[in-house]
Amino acid sequence: MIEFSDKNSLKGLGLMTGTSCDGIDLVFVQFNSKKKPLVEILATEFLPYPKEVNEFLQRCLSEKIHISELSQFNFYLAEIYAEAIERFIGMKEINKSEIDYVAVHGQTLWHNPRKTEFQGREISSTYQAVNLSALSKIIELPVIGDFRSGDIALGGEGAPLVSIFDMEFLAEETEERILLNIGGIANVTYLSKGEFMNAFDCGPGNTLLDGFSKTVLGKDFDMNGEFASSGNINAEFLDRLLSDEFLHLSPPKSTGREKYNMQYLAEKIASQNIPNADVMCTLTEFTAEAISGNIRQFCKPESTIIVSGGGRNNTFLMEVLQSKLQNSHFRKIEDFGIPSDYKEAIAFAYLGYLFLQGKKVNLTKITGAKSSTILGILAI
């Protein structure tokens, strides 16, 4: 058995594929925890998914697929990840012998933290695609993954796990801080003068905006929110969006694309004939209100809000959001030495580090899990 727990310093690769389903964020980092945990970011890169992967993921999220396809996809994705890792190592001239481990989030295809009836029992579950054993064998490195399942088993939401990284590396004893990540789903971590208060998903981040952009503009996203800003808010449509019960649930809570997808959007639009620009404008208002409303209700708005994720590049969305939180001080996460596009990959690399150190994570306040636990499983 490989021994890691006696090593304070480890170098690892972190791979993150989020709800945008557009590609793989890769980081090469070094963690050291002799005293306070330290992170050194050695290399980063984004590698887009092949078209075939993206198309299959869209099918998974919108159609029923056969179990044989899902089995094949797990092994197929392991090969895609392995190729991305080898390419990354080559591009960044990393000596493979320096890599102690690889931490992989996997591609979320299903997330159901609230117990529902299944075969006569109340079951909650989550599913991140990729076969960890296959990946480990292909790249000949230890692989840690499946970080969410253990938390779900202990009654937790399985998310947001990035808050563990936020607490260790971004807390400040003299300041109220809200770590806001606007990815496919928007989530926050609220830290009050160095103390963890809560963390949760707010609702949709980019997922509805990007999905509609692909449908009507043929573009992966609406650059700077320019198309959305040309439209007007449709009050009736907005009211239906804001009636969403998830927005008003108390933390802990989490969600994903199994809820916020094009089917959800079609049901909310219903039979209304709304101009496309007005749909985008209204979706922007909804996204900003989902975030700001949750911050007002469950955090302290008079805080420094540190923004990461692709949504921070949507100028129009950020303008609407800041207009709703005028007593907040907005900063970019780059101001704190963390590249925004790679924060989640770094965070899951850190979870891999904690696993190898044998360190339990206290998730009771973050996810609602009933006890602390070591997150993840190891494939060698």
Q: What is the mean pLDDT of residues 37-62?
A: 91
| Residues in CB range of 209: below 8 A, 6 or more apart | 221, 222, 225, 228, 280, 283, 284, 287, 314, 317
The pLDDT, as a whole number, for residue 5 is 60
What mean pLDDT is reported for the chain? 94
What confidence tier does 1 reach under pLDDT thresholds 50, 70, 90?
very low
pLDDT at site 213 = 96
What's the length of the chain?
Answer: 380
**Host H or E run for residue 56:** helix 51-62
CATH of 171-336, one of 3.30.420.40, 3.40.50.12140, 3.40.50.720, 2.60.120.10: 3.30.420.40
Q: What gap in Å lies between CA 376 and CA 19, rounded to an integer?
A: 20
Asked which of 71-80, 144-153, 300-309, 358-367 is least confident by mean pLDDT, the reply is 358-367
Above 80 in pLDDT, residue 17?
yes
pLDDT of 2 reads 59
Is pLDDT of 36 > 90? Answer: no
For residue 4, name the pLDDT band (cuts at 50, 70, 90).
low
Token duo for residue 122 = 């109340």
pLDDT given at position 278: 98
Q: Please say if the pLDDT value at position 129 is more than 90.
A: yes
Residue 84 pLDDT class (50, 70, 90 cuts): very high
The per-residue pLDDT for 3 is 62
Indicate the residue type of 350. Answer: Y
Work out the average pLDDT over 8-23.
89
CATH topology of domain 9-158+344-379: Nucleotidyltransferase; domain 5 (3.30.420)
**Domain(s) of CATH 3.30.420.40: residues in the chain:** 9-158+344-379, 171-336
Residue 158, pLDDT score: 93
Question: What share of the chain in percent tops pLDDT 70?
Answer: 98
DSSP H/E element including 162: helix 162-169
For the chain, first and last CA: distance in Å? 9
Confidence of residue 33 (pLDDT cuts 50, 70, 90): confident
Considering the entire predicted model, what is its pTM?
Answer: 0.92
pLDDT at 270: 87
Strand, helix or coil at 306? strand
Quote the pLDDT of residue 6.
60
Per-residue pLDDT at 19: 75
DSSP 249: P
- Give 36 or 128, the one with higher predicted confidence: 128
Query: 65-72: which pairs have CB atoms within 8 A and are 24 or more residues apart?
Result: 70/129
In this structure, are residues 377 and 132 in contact, taking their beta carbons and an 8 Å threshold? yes
Check whether 115 has a pLDDT greater than 50.
yes
Task: Of 33-37, 244-248, 267-271, 314-318, give the lowest mean pLDDT range.
Answer: 33-37
